Amino acid sequence: MSKLVIIDGNAILHRAFHALPPLTTKNGEPINAVYGLVSMLLRVITDLKPTHIAVAFDRKEPTFRHKAFKEYQAQRPATANELISQFAKARRVVEAFGIPIYDKAGFEADDVIGTISTLVKEDVVIVTGDKDQLQLVNGRVKVYMPIVGLANAKLMGEAEVKEKMGVAPSLIDDYKALVGDPSDNYPGVPGIGPKTAVSLLEKYGTLDNIYKNLKEIPAATGQKLTKGRKYSEISKKLATIVKDVPIGFKIEECSRWDVDGKKVLDLFAEFGFKTLTERVKKVGKELDQEKQIPLL
């Protein structure tokens, strides 16, 4: 059976940048985030054994979420120049591995990944540190999420998401519409916390049904929901991952693995990735022995 792995490039780069110690090229350029991304890629190839791989990246242009809600992510500090300088290098490495890159102006990598995972009808594993993408989990879509830095990762299906979030994956957008998301800086319904949100969703099933049954909800909670309805609506829009981004996705592009071995090894030498050079050669031999498409 086919298995597509989609790597959330920006999420893994950000996590690697903050989790790994400083690392520079021989020219003194920061490279630790790229090191972490490649390390994760090799682990994914070995542990998940995908038949297809794709990488999604954010774009620098504002998204529809920023236009819909000017405060969206406004509290976040500016991305460090030491990380920004690594984005182009990361793309160079992914391209050398022959892995297709998908992105779309006006949308986040989350939306690109949501679209791809919807289009593909077989098994999908999303590699990300972004909890927003847990809403995409279903019977054939799982999330492979780093737990501590990049050292450990957990494969999360529907049961694991429910345990972590308190609600089923399909209700995460409704849950966030109620409680908001401080990391993305949208409010949800003022005064509604996680326990109340879970309780309401357990009883009424969806955000729409909660509002259809306001008369039977305790007065104090009902008043908060009524006053905060406009916030729940915009929060729902911001929380919901788009699944129909026009990206021209073709699954066959993800299976080619047209690896430019010389380019990969030249980049590793340029970046000073001595340990990764040995790892990539080992992974390549393992794939060759398994009669999969050779890596190098």
- Please report the pLDDT score of residue 2 as a whole number: 87
- Please report the pLDDT score of residue 150 as a whole number: 80
State the average pLDDT over residues 195-213. Answer: 98
- Looking at the chain, the whole-number percentage of residues with pLDDT higher than 70 is 95
Question: Which tens digit of pLDDT belongs to each residue from 234-254?
Answer: 999 999 999 999 999 999 999
- Dihedral-angle region of residue 57 (phi above 0 means left; psi in -120 to 50 means alpha; beta otherwise): beta
* pLDDT at residue 163 tops 80: yes
Whether 113 and 135 have beta carbons less than 8 Å apart is answered as: no
Q: How far is CA 143 from the centre of its chain?
A: 8
* pLDDT at residue 96 tops 70: yes
Give the tokens for residue 2. 């086919």
- Please report the pLDDT score of residue 177 as a whole number: 98
- Please report the pLDDT score of residue 284 as a whole number: 66
Q: Domains for the chain: give ranges and CATH numbers.
A: 3-164+242-289 (3.40.50.1010), 169-239 (1.10.150.20)
Q: For the CA atoms of the chain, what is the radius of gyration?
A: 21
Cα-Cα-Cα-Cα dihedral sign, residues 146, 98, 113, 253: negative
Which has more pLDDT, 260 or 221?
Answer: 221
pLDDT band at 290 (very low <50, low <70, confident <90, very high): low
* pLDDT at residue 41 tops 70: yes
Helix (H) or strand (E) run with residue 6 in it: strand 3-8
The angle, 0 to 180 degrees and rounded to 10, between the axes of the packed helices 261-271 and 274-289 is: 160
* pLDDT at residue 159 tops 80: yes
State the average pLDDT over residues 188-205. Answer: 98
- Please report the pLDDT score of residue 286 as a whole number: 59
- Please report the pLDDT score of residue 281 as a whole number: 78
Question: Which tens digit of pLDDT belongs to each residue from 1-38?
Answer: 789 999 999 999 999 999 999 999 999 999 999 999 99
- Full-model pTM: 0.93
What is the residue whose two structure tokens read 């460090």? 80
